[in-house]
Amino acid sequence: MICAAILAGGIGERLGLGIPKQFHCISGKPLLIHCVENFVDVEELDLIIVSSPKEYVEKTKYIINEFVDDSRIHVIEGGITRNDTILNSIDFSIECGANENSIMVTHDCARIFVSSKLIRDSIHFALKYGASSAVIPATDVIFQSKSKGLLSDVPERKYLVHAQTPQAFNIKKFMGIYNDLSKDEIKLLDEAMVLFFLRNENVYLFDGDSSNFKITRPFDLTLAETYLKNLK
């Protein structure tokens, strides 16, 4: 099985909207729907899992049913952390028939301009290498500061990339590594690819897209509105 987990378990406090940002409408549709529709376009996906904060599960189901008709979509409760949400999505996919050869694609709901190509590339490279992530080159010089705002290091920019989603991985390999991690190592996990890195497993980095930005702050909403208008 090829499964997708659209991570919409947060509430987007930095946007200050008073509601989870996935429900905020731009160009007549909630952000969630803009994202989900891009996954619906990918025929290779057998299962599309949408996570939601516990108190918004029914609202999420209602909104999806209002805009999208696809039997592959299922809404589940997200976890406390990003990793918990991914684990919940894996558990649900296994209940639906995923096995050791299955692939899970994870994606931030707030990246609403993800293309079908990026989703398909993540699947292709995860099947080949075990894990994959979209990335874009770092265009700025990156300073490292380890204490009190003082400059500690200046990594060479040519080796640096910004991680995006979609990211994808073999479910069996992910769970095998996760179950082998210590509690301290689990605390280091803020995205799935770190898990593979901690055990020196291959993660293939493929070309992402600058338009695949994450809506995090108020300016990003304005940018997204402008981008959608230009797409019409």
The DSSP string of 80-111 is SSHHHHHHHHHHHHHHTT--TT-EEEEEETT-
Q: How many domains does the chain have?
A: 1
Residue 44 lies in a domain: yes
Quick check: 44 and 123 in contact, CB under 8 A?
yes
* Structural domain contains residue 117: yes
The CATH number of whichever domain residue 59 belongs to comes to 3.90.550.10
List CB contacts of 3: < 8 A, sequence separation 6 or more.
Answer: 45, 46, 47, 48, 49, 89, 93, 96, 98, 102, 103, 104, 105, 171
- Structural domain of 194: 2-223
In a domain, 229, yes or no: no
Residue 141: inside a domain, yes or no? yes
Does 25 map to a domain? yes
Query: pLDDT tens track of the chain, all 232 residues?
Result: 999 999 986 665 556 567 788 999 999 999 999 999 999 999 999 999 999 999 999 999 999 999 999 999 999 999 888 889 999 999 999 999 999 899 999 999 999 999 999 999 999 999 999 999 999 999 999 999 998 889 999 999 999 999 999 999 999 999 999 999 988 888 878 788 999 998 999 999 999 999 999 998 889 999 999 998 887 6
pTM for the full predicted model: 0.93
Q: Is residue 146 part of a domain?
A: yes
- With respect to residue 85, please indicate whether it lies within any of the assigned structural domains: yes
Task: Say which residues have a Cβ less than 8 Å from residue 177's Cβ, sequence separation at least 6.
Answer: 195, 196, 198, 199, 201
